[in-house]
Structure 1
Amino acid sequence: MTPAETELFNAMDELGRVEFAGAGREIGAEFLGTQLLRGVGSRPRKLTLHDVVVVGELDVEAGEVGFPVEFERCTFEHAPNFEQATVAGLYFADCRLPGLRASQVRLHDGLALRDCVINGCLRLTGAHVAGQLDMVDCVIDGPADGAFKADGLRVELDVYCSGRFRVTGLTRMIGAHIGGQFICEGATFRNPEGEVALQLSTLTVDEHVFWRDGFTAEGDVILSGATIAGRLICDGARFLSPGRIALLAGGMTVGQEAEFSAGCVVDGEMNMVGSRFGGWLKLTGGEFSNPGGVAINLTRSLTSLNLVLREGTVVRGELRLAGARVDGLLGAQGAHLENERGVAMNAFGLKVSSDLSLSVRGDERFRAQGRVVLSDAHIGGDLDCSGGRFDSDDGEALIARGVDVVRDIKLCKVFVAHGKVDLAGASVEGKIDFTGAELEHGEDAVRCDRVKVGHSVIFDKVRASGRVRMCDARIGSELTFHKALLRGRKALKLRGTQVRGALRFKFAERPAGRIDLRQAQAGSFGDSENDWSAGSTLDGFVYGALRENSMELNKRLRWLRDNHRYVPQVYLQLAATYASAGQHDEATDVLMAKEDARRRSLSGFFGRLHRSVWWLLSPTVGYGYRPLRILWCLGALTLVGGFVFHLLRQDADNFAKARPHLDPHWFDPWLYTVDLLLPIMSLEHSQLWVPLHGARWASLAFTVLGWVLAVCLVTGIGRLFKRDER
């Protein structure tokens, strides 16, 4: 034995706590191994070696070290071999090792590698540590295919990989079980020559995982199938694997909350498909970047409480939530999502028990550059996009086809969409509010076909550069456009929509394009003269009443005459509305305007003939709706005829007495005129005088006019009892 070995041997013979200061002297590995494997009666309580250089390979494989061993500031020529050994406790502090072989080692207490430098592989595969695994400030520089191998490792208490802890090469802990906490605050895992830096598939942690305060992984981190009973905290962590899956955690289960916030950076995809979170999932303040690909993948994940990525969160790439379930709220107020030429947020089939908020928080508004897809999602509270900004280069900004919302959809408070907002087939128990929204699209700025809304749809103060389209919708209360600006080439299409309450226009200015209300229905309707553009269509539009301050009747009829083709139903509906309100004179005016429009719509020879005949019915009996007008005609003709025959009687040659004894002064020109104008009945005054010369032609003219009035009267009375529904 060397003097140093002799000194150590003698110290160990004294048993008790042995502390050996080597002062840089060498001790043979074979000698040291023999001393570590001493029998029961000759074992010290603890052995501590300071400043020792271990020469050769320390090999205690499958042996039993019955006392704790501590190495401080020691240097090993070869990697110590503790494989399958049973050791009371093993501690290295500020040591230099070319590796450590400890597969399937059994440690009754802890294993420490504090402030150590390991230039080789640390092997803990299948090891069982009854205490803690302490690797604070440890540096491991090993091969790319395995610098730290700990598959199947079992640690009953905590694992510390904190401080200046650094691994260069692959770290494998597949199937490892940690009975306490897994703390990697400030740690660095990098594998410059490989793709995976940290392989933790099916890892089990009975308490919390803290990867924060500068935790860095340069390469893929795999947590697939991992189970964490407590919290997963990654505040300030950095996962760097550009263009690849930086964090693969499919099927992971976290019993409490998970946080990737407060400065967390993920460069590459964060894949947590099918993961389960027992508490909150917090992404607020994180930066997630995978341009052109999926940045955050939470497909079919389950979050038992809230999922939040509020102001300060930046996602470059797709945020995928397809089929995910959030049992609380999903809050993305103030978040920025960037995927300009693709999908910024894909939440197809998402289920949220409370609110889904893509709105403003503080001074930050939610912004999405790329499509936001919420189709077939179920939202148990509000879908709140108020104040949000949605920009899409491919034409569709917000797609929420078939979305089911228990409360309201809020697209108001300067909500901005540069691209189509598509809510086709949506079901909303509350209201849809577009108040003050700015909508821009070349064709349909808003598409709400077949939506079912329990309360109201509000487009007040909207500025739309494309068409507002809402066909075959069902609205339980009202649909309003107060002070809206519709500047699209096609302004508004409400074909087949049913509004149980009021449909109100009152636009800020006349729409630039046409309005289509074909087959629409409303409980009441309110409009103004400036609401109607040329080419608008009202075929089949049915409404129960006209609201106060609506367009005046004469202006409405003038607009229908000048800007709308003849459709009988349009006039009949308007007349029925006035009639049901007790305004029968106005209803009659509408029906007469209908006949005027019908007359003007006829063409061809027979059309012109028909128009000529009907031209007589308007001033005489008002197409049968005002038959008493004929009395005014009869009175006017009586006055004219009276004066004519009064002048003609001045010449005795114009009339001859039918009876010799008649006195010429008995001739009454007005009575004579009335007798001529009443062809059916006779006053027998015209029979007493025989018209001659000019009186003959005048009498014939008034007789014909009398027959014309009679025909008009009969036709008018017939139409009074049989309304023409053509």
Structure 2
Amino acid sequence: MTPAELELLEEIEPDKRVEFHGGGREIGAEFLARQLIRVMGERPRKLSLFNVVVVGKLDLEAADVGFPVEFEGCDFDDVPNVEQAALAGLYLVDCRLPGLSASQARFRDGLALHGCVVRGCVQLNGAHVAGQLDMEDCVIDGPPDGALKADGLRVEQDFYCSRKFQVTGLTHMIGAHIGGQFICDGATFRNPGEDRTLELSGLVVQEHVFWRNGFSVQGDVNLNGADIAGRLVCHRARFTNPGRTALSAIGMTVRQEVEFSETCVVRGELNLVGCKFGGWLKFTGGKFINPCGVAINLTRSVTSLNLVLRRGTAVRGELRLAGARINGLLGAQGAHFENEGGVAINATGLRVRNDLSLSVRDRKRFRARGQVVLSGAHVGGNLDCTGGRFEIDEGDALVAHGINVAGDAKLCGSFFARGKVDLAGASVEGKLDFTGARLEHNGDAVRCDRVRVKHAVKFDKVRATGCVRMCDARVGSEITFLKAVLQGKPSLKLKGTQVVGSLRLGFAERPSGSVDLRLVRAGSFGDSERDWAHKSRLDGFVYGALREDSMELDKRLTWLRDRHAYVPQVYLQLASTYANAGQHDEATDVLMAKEDARRRSLDGIFGRLHRMVWWVLNPTVGYGYRPLRIVWWLGVLTAAGGVIFHFLRQNPDNFARARPGLEAYWFDPWLYTIDLLLPIMSLNHSELWVPLHGARWASLAFTVLGWVLAVCLVTGVGRLFKRDER
């Protein structure tokens, strides 16, 4: 034995704490092994070795070391072997080792490699540590295929891999079980030239996992199937595997909250497919970068409380939430998403029990450069995009086909979309609000075909450079466009939409393109003169009443005459509305305007004949709608004829007596005129006088006028020209 070994041997006494300071001297591994496997009754209470060099291979395989052993500041020139051994406790502090073999070892107390430098592999496969596993400040530089091998490792209490802990090579901990916390604050894992770095699939942690304060992984982290009973916290952590999966946790279960926040950076895909989270899922303040790929994948995941990606969160790549379920709210106020030319957020089939908020928070706007897809999603509260900014170079900025919203859908305030907003087939239990929104797209700026909204739809103060399209929609309250500016061509399409309440236009300026209200049904309608552009369509538009602030009748009829093709139903609907309101004169004016428009629409010889008749029927009996006008014409013609025939009788040569004995003063010019103007009835006054010279032509003219008035009167009474089917 060497002097150091003799000195150590002398100090070892039963049930005594032994502290041996070697001063850098050598101790043989075989000698040391014999001292560590002493039988009961000869064992010290604890053996602590300081600053010694262990020469040779310390082989304790399957041995039983019944007392704790501590090495501090020691060097090992060969790999210690404690495989299948049973140790009270093994504590390596600030030691230097070429490796450690401890597979299937049992540590009745704890295991520590605190501050150690290991130039090789640490093998803990199947090991069982009844206390803590302390690897703080440990540096392991092992082979790429396994620097730390701990498959099936079981630690009953906490596992510390924190501060300056560093592993170069693959860390393999499949199926490991940690009964306390897994703390890796400040730890670094890397495996240069290899895809996998941290293999933790099937990991079970009974308390929390803390990856914080500079925690860094270069390469793939595999947490597939992991089960964490507490929290998973990644604050100021970095996961780096550009263009590939940085962290895969498919099917992972975390029973409390998960945080990737406070400047956490993930370069590569964060794959959380099918995960279950028992508390909040927080990404606030994190940066997730995987350009042209999936940055965060939460497909079919379940979050028991809230999912938040609030201000400071930046996602470059796709956030995928397809089929995910969130039992609280989804809040992304102030977050930035970017995946230019692709999908920024894919939430197809997402189910959110409370609100889904893509809006403003603390003056920080939600921004998405790339397509946001909410098709088939179900939102149990409000869909709040107030102040959000959605941009894409070409195509649809926001797609929400068939989305179901139990509250309000708010795309208002300073909401901005560069690209189409497509809500086709959406169902909104509250209101759909675009008030103050700015919409930019060359085609349809908004597409809301077949939407179902139980309350109001508001486009007040909207500025749209494309068409606002809402065909075949069903709205339970009202649709309003007050002070809106529509610059698309066409500007507005509401074909087939039904509104239980009112439809109000009231644009701030005349739309640049046409307004299509074909087959629309509304309880009431309000408009103004500037609401109508050229070639607008009103075919089949049905409304119950006109609002008091609507366009005046004469201006409406002028617009219909000059800027709308003749459609009988348009006039009949307008006339019916006035008639139902008790405004029968206005209704009659509309029907007369209808006949004017009908005759203008006729072409060819038949059309010219109708227009010739028009010049007679309109001023005389109003196409039969105002037959009492004939009385006015009779009065005017009677007065005119009385004056004419009064002057004509001054010349005796103009009239001859039909019977002898008639006196000239018996001639009554007004009675004579009336007798001429009544072709069917006769007052027998005109038969007493024979008109000659000029009186003959005047009498003929008044007789013809009388017949014309009679024909017009018969036409009016018979309604020959009032045929609605025309």
**TM-score in terms of structure 1 length:** 0.99
Decide whether the 8 Å contact of 1:169 with 1:193 is kept in 2.
no
Please list the CA deviations of residues 118-150 of structure 1 after superposition, one character each: whole Å capped at 9, or x if unmatched: 000000001011111000110000001100000
Map of 2:516 onto structure 1: 516
What corresponds to 1:264 in structure 2? 264
Q: Which residue of 1 aligns with 2:669?
A: 669
Distance across 2 between alignment mates of 1:126 and 1:394: 56
Change in 2 beyond 3 A, CA 1:243/1:45: same
Instruction: Give the drift of 1:15.
Output: 4.7
Range that drifts further, 169-178 or 637-646:
637-646
In the TM superposition, 1:686-705 aligns within 5 A as: 686-705=686-705
Equivalent position of 1:459 in the other structure? 459
Letter in 2 for 1:494: L
Structure 2: distance between partners of 1:461 and 1:698: 66
| Pairing of 1:40-119 with structure 2 (within 5 A) | 40-119=40-119
**What does residue range 385-424 of structure 1 map to in structure 2 within 5 Å?**
385-424=385-424
CA distance, structure 2, for counterparts of residue 307 and residue 358 of structure 1: 12
Q: Whole-Å Cα distance in 2 between the matches of residues 479 and 724 of structure 1?
A: 30
Deviations 1:648-667 (A, max 9, x none): 33333332222112222211
Distance 1:537 1:97, change over 3 A: same
Q: Is the 2:623–2:721 Cα contact (8 Å) retained in structure 1?
A: no
Deviation at 1:530, TM superposition (A): 1.0
**C-alpha deviations, 1:621-668, integer Å up to 9, x for none?**
111111100011111222222233233333333322221122222111
Q: Does 1:623 align with 2:592?
A: no
Alpha-carbon deviation of 1:690? Answer: 2.1
Q: Distance in 2 between matches of 1:402 and 1:682?
A: 77
Separation (CA, whole Å) in 1 of partners of 2:603 and 2:720? 26
Matched residue, 1:123: 123
1:593 aligns with 2:588: no
For the 8 Å contact 2:259–2:281, the answer to whether it is kept is yes
| Aligned equivalents of 2:420, 2:722: Cα separation in 1 | 50
1:340 Cα deviation from its structure 2 partner = 1.1
Structure 2 residue 636 is the aligned partner of structure 1 residue 636:
yes
The aligned counterpart of 2:528 is 528
Which amino acid in the other structure matches residue 683 of structure 1?
L
Task: Give the structure 1 partner of residue 196 of structure 2.
Answer: 196
Decide which moves more: 702-711 or 265-274. 702-711
Question: 1:24: which partner in 2?
Answer: 24
Give, in whole Å, the separation in 2 of the partners of 1:608 and 1:723: 19
Tell whether the 8 Å contact from 1:625 to 1:720 is kept in structure 2 after alignment: no
1:611 maps to which residue? 611
Q: Cα offset for 1:548?
A: 1.4
1:227 aligns with 2:227: yes
CA distance in structure 2 between the aligned counterparts of 1:445 and 1:326, rounded to whole angstroms:
30
1:20 positional shift: 1.5
- Displacement of 1:723 in angstroms is 5.1
Give the deviation of 1:524 after TM superposition.
0.9
Distance in 1 between the 2:195 and 2:386 partners?
Answer: 43
Residues in 2 aligned to 1:394 and 1:686: alpha-carbon distance in whole angstroms: 85
Q: 1:358 is matched with which residue?
A: 358
Aligned-pair distance for 1:4?
Answer: 1.3
Q: 1:721: Cα distance to partner? A: 11
Q: Deviations over 1:524-556 (max 9, x none)?
A: 111111111111111111111111121111111
Amino acid in structure 2 at the alignment position of 1:463: R
The number of aligned residues is: 726
Instruction: Give CA-to-partner distance per residue, 1:478-537, whole Å, 9 cap, x none.
Output: 111111111112111111111111111111111111101111111111111111111111
Matched AA of 1:561: R
Q: Name the SS for the 2:617 alignment partner.
A: helix
| 1:586 aligned counterpart, secondary structure | helix
Q: 3-state DSSP class of the match of 2:395? A: strand
Q: Deviations over 1:177-221 (max 9, x none)?
A: 001110001100111121111000010001110011111011111
Distance 2:67 2:476 in 1: 81
Letter in 2 for 1:79: V
What residue in structure 1 maps to residue 713 of structure 2? Answer: 713
The whole-number CA distance in structure 2 between the counterparts of 1:510 and 1:445 is 18
Shift of 1:450: 0.6
The match for 2:178 is 178
SS at match of 1:260: strand
**Deviation at 1:439?**
0.5
Q: Secondary structure at the match of 2:235?
A: coil
2:643–2:669 contact (8 Å) kept in structure 1? yes
Give the superposition deviation at 1:14: 4.9
| Residue 486 of structure 2 is aligned to residue 471 of structure 1 | no
Specify every segment of 5 or more residues in structure 1 that has no aligned partner in the other structure, as ranges.
none
Asked if 2 retains the 8 angstrom alpha-carbon contact of 1:366 and 1:388, the reply is yes
Match of 2:507 in 1: 507
Secondary structure of 1:40's counterpart equals coil
Which runs of structure 2 are paired with 1:10-21 in the superposition (5 Å)? 10-21=10-21
Q: How many Å separate the matches in 1 of 2:601 and 2:637?
A: 31
Which amino acid is 1:397 matched to?
A
Report the Cα distance in structure 2 between the residues aligned to 1:722 and 1:33, rounded to whole angstroms: 120
SS at match of 2:640: helix
**DSSP-derived class of the 1:555 partner:** helix
**What TM-score comes out, normalization by structure 2 length?**
0.99
- How far the C-alpha of 1:27 sits from its partner, in A, is 0.9
Report if aligned partners of 2:166, 2:189 keep a CA contact under 8 Å in 1: yes
1:85, 1:454 → 2: CA distance?
72
Structure 2 counterparts to residues 114-513 of structure 1, below 5 A? 114-513=114-513
Q: Distance in 1 between matches of 2:508 and 2:701?
A: 57
- The CA distance in 2 between the partners of 1:136 and 1:8, in whole Å, is 29
Q: CA RMSD in A?
A: 1.2
User: 1:608 is matched by which residue type in structure 2?
Assistant: R
Does the CA contact (< 8 Å) of 1:387 and 1:413 recur in 2? yes
Letter in 2 for 1:4: A
Write the distance in 1 (CA, Å) between the matches of 2:393 and 2:273. 28
Q: Is the 8 A contact 1:677 1:703 kept in 2?
A: yes
Letter in 1 for 2:501: G
Per-residue deviation, 1:722: 6.4
1:37 lines up with 2:7 in the alignment: no
Find the aligned partners of 1:169 and 1:9 in 2 and give their Cα distance.
39
Higher mean alpha-carbon deviation, 530-539 vs 115-124, is at 530-539
Rounded Cα–Cα distance in structure 2 between residues aligned with 1:13 and 1:480:
95
Shift of 1:427: 0.3
The amino acid of 2:105's aligned partner reads V
Measured in 2, the distance between the counterparts of 1:509 and 1:97 equals 82
CA 1:42–1:14 in 2, change beyond 3 Å: closer, same or farther?
Answer: closer
SS in 1 for 2:524: strand
Rounded Cα–Cα distance in structure 2 between residues aligned with 1:177 and 1:83: 19
With 245-254 and 583-592 compared, the bigger mean Cα shift is at: 583-592
**Alignment deviations for residues 383-410 of structure 1 (CA, whole Å, 9 cap, x no partner):** 1010111110122111111110011011
Question: C-alpha displacement at 1:700, in angstroms?
Answer: 2.3
Q: Distance in 2 between matches of 1:702 and 1:187?
A: 115
721 and 564 in structure 1: CA distance in 2 versus 1, 3 angstrom threshold? closer
Instruction: Specify every segment of 5 or more residues in structure 2 that has no aligned partner in the other structure, as ranges.
Output: none
Counterparts of 1:286 and 1:15, CA distance in 2: 54
Distance in 1 of aligned mates of 2:262 and 2:3: 57
Q: Which residue does 2:654 correspond to in 1?
A: 654
Deviation at 1:77, TM superposition (A): 0.5
Deviation string 1:680-711 (CA, Å, 9 cap, x unpaired) is 11101111122233333332222222111111
**Structure 2 match to 1:570:** 570
CA contact (8 A) 1:526 1:546 kept: yes
- Give distance in 1, aligned partners of 2:690 and 2:336: 101
SS of residue paired to 1:500: strand
